[in-house]
Amino acid sequence: MSSLVPNLVSGVAVEPQGSRVPVLDPATGEEFGVLCRADEQTVSEAISAAEKAFVSWRQTPLAKRTEIMFNLRQIIRSRADELAKVISREHGKTLDDAMGEITRGLENVEFCAGLLSHMKGEFLEQAATGIDVKQIKQPVGVVSCVTPFNFPAMVPLWMITTAIAAGNAVILKPSEHTPFAANWVVEAFHEAGLPPGVLNVVHGGKEVVDQLIEDRRVKAISFVGSTPVARSIYANAALNGKRVQALGGAKNHMVVMPDADLEAAADCAISAGFGSAGERCMAISVVVAVGTIADELVEKISNRIKTLTTGPSTNSDSDMGPVITAEAKDRITGLIQSAADDGATIVCDGRGADLPTQGFFVGPTLIDTVSPEMAVYQQEIFGPVLCVVRVNSFDEAVELINGNQFANGTAVFTRDGQTAREFEFRIEVGMVGVNVPIPVPIGAFSFGGWKDSLFGDTHMYGPESFNFYTRRKVVTTKWPNPNETQISLGFPTN
């Protein structure tokens, strides 16, 4: 029997009558859960609950908030196997990969456990005669977090943990495809001691997000998902006077220079291209082969592809699971066909691979001689497809990447420090790896791309996130001497 996924308002399961959405197991295509879509009233009640809880949560001592962060870390660590199974079931990624996701999510919980430092303000004594000035950080209020399917636990942990540590109350709106892990994390937060109402979950799609954006009680929106949705959420939230950070899609290039260690580069192309079936916003989707090494590199990558096993995450020998939906599979296979039609060379074709007959599987695919005007290059594929673009020089590689609309991550593979330094300096991308194919910053730094990969000013998690979820207030103080006149009509200077 399918389990029901409720909304969680003030820590209580809410299952409004009406809209029910099936949650499918991507490895079989069969329904294994049923999502309760939040109706208008449920969304409004969740916002009211958050608004009410915010009043006392922002007064909660920071030491107590810190304790909850430590408790949460302990709960997730001790039950990581259980959470990994939940993620793996609804997303399809392997258990190893799900454990990796949990570890990266925990990094932010650990960063947030240092909230005493992150919430500290500034103080300037004697800024003018007898006048001191301090800057304090205060929470924004009720904030909403809208998350994608591909990291069902990690992206919620990026957002909600920081927002809560900073003293806000949260409405989480997870992906309809992967709602179980989000509910699991919220329940773990409550178990860690978070008071009811500080963290609520509403399920659904565009209509729920639109209501959150339009409700005046919600002060900020954090979003991670595809670029068209990120762009429209950014515009709509700004129009509604909200703070907004909206992270979008990606097309990450990996440049392989002629002097690179080709064995290592081929290994990295495989891991970064096909891990999680390519459904990572930092996955490599384009290998830029510079100069004469292209043939050798393509051969090494294709030899490695032959060793990969695609199958359900329940098979311990699967390297890669299914993609998320039948629509995603159709989009990916359609783009592979478009590449063939446009004259690219399909070196390994994931459509013809030895795949399970049920579920939404696409095998690892390698497409050579791709050029920038092809649809397979221009669109985000978000599947297990590596394209190879051949260029003659480093300058051509840089020009190619800087001309792309997406700018989430990129990497250069070289043995030459000067080339790497030049790449870092010239490349117009938010996260850069040098011989590191997936340069996701560790928790002490923040995460974010440039151009169409991020709309807004602040990156996610880490220090920038504390800025996003707080407002600065500057207090100027004087304790006047009762024996001195305070009358002065001039503009105060000192």
Residues that bind ligand NAD (CB under 6 A): 146-151, 173, 175-176, 205-206, 209, 224-226, 229, 233, 247-250, 281, 380, 382, 408, 449, 453
Contacts of 17 (CB under 8 A, 6+ apart): none
Q: What are phi and psi of 284, to 5 degrees?
A: -80, 130
Neighbouring C-beta atoms of residue 457, cutoff 10 Å = 12
C-alpha 136: how far from its chain's center?
28
Helical spans, DSSP H, in 344-461: 375-378, 394-402, 417-426
Shortest CB 489 distance to ligand NAD, Å: 53
Active site residue 281: yes
Cβ atoms of residues 324 and 92 within 8 Å: yes
Burial of 59: CB neighbours in 10 Å, binned 0-12, 13-18, 19+: exposed
Nearer to ligand NAD, 150 or 414 (CB): 150
Shortest CB 176 distance to ligand NAD, Å: 5
Cβ atoms of residues 287 and 388 within 8 Å: yes
Nearer to ligand NAD, 138 or 325 (CB): 325
Nearer to ligand NAD, 221 or 290 (CB): 221
Shortest CB 474 distance to ligand NAD, Å: 32
Catalytic residue among 112, 145, 281, 387: 281
Q: Which residue is nearest to ligand NAD (CB)?
A: 225
C-alpha 378: how far from its chain's center?
21
Shortest CB 147 distance to ligand NAD, Å: 6
Cβ atoms of residues 204 and 41 within 8 Å: no
CA distance 219 to 338: 43
Shortest CB 173 distance to ligand NAD, Å: 6
CA distance 393 to 7: 54
Nearer to ligand NAD, 206 or 415 (CB): 206
Shortest CB 14 distance to ligand NAD, Å: 18
Torsion sign across C-alpha atoms 65, 66, 67, 73 = positive
Nearer to ligand NAD, 148 or 443 (CB): 148
Shortest CB 369 distance to ligand NAD, Å: 25
Name the region of 126 (left: φ>0; alpha: ψ -120 to 50; beta: rest): left
Nearer to ligand NAD, 155 or 293 (CB): 155
CA distance 51 to 58: 11
Using DSSP's 3-state secondary structure scheme, residue 413 falls into strand
Nearer to ligand NAD, 81 or 327 (CB): 327
Q: Catalytic residue numbers? A: 281
